[in-house]
Amino acid sequence: MAKVTVYNVQVCKIMTGQLVLSRRMATREGATIMKGEIIDNTAVEIDETQLESGEKWTPIDFRPQDRRLALGKALGSLECQPLDEARRTGKNHDCGSRKIRT
């Protein structure tokens, strides 16, 4: 079977306007359809049969074997205030341009 590259995708949560990590992984084309942005350094090669039938993304909560490694590398490159510190102080968790309310 053919291999495809999928990525973690950041999408805007419609109800809150917050950027969140999608529960799906998507190809570049799929991310465009989802109106999301791929996180480049989370690329994982999978068999195309693992995509949802006829779509350019994986099922919800799809976990390829090396996704954890890819996601860890991506998130490890972000400089942000520790979440525990944000909870303790009651301030927003700050990851670059994204602010996450704790």
One pLDDT digit (tens) per residue for the chain, 102 residues: 799 999 999 999 888 888 999 999 999 999 999 999 999 999 999 999 999 999 999 999 998 875 555 555 555 544 444 445 545 555 544 444 444 443
Predicted confidence at residue 73, as pLDDT, reads 52
Q: Which of 43, 37, 46 is CA-nearest to residue 9?
A: 37
Predicted confidence at residue 75, as pLDDT, reads 53
Predicted confidence at residue 99, as pLDDT, reads 46
Residues listed for the chain = 102
Question: pTM higher than 0.75 for the full model?
Answer: no
Q: Which of 27, 41, 37 is CA-nearest to residue 76?
A: 41
In whole angstroms, what is the distance from residue 41 CA to residue 50 CA?
Answer: 20
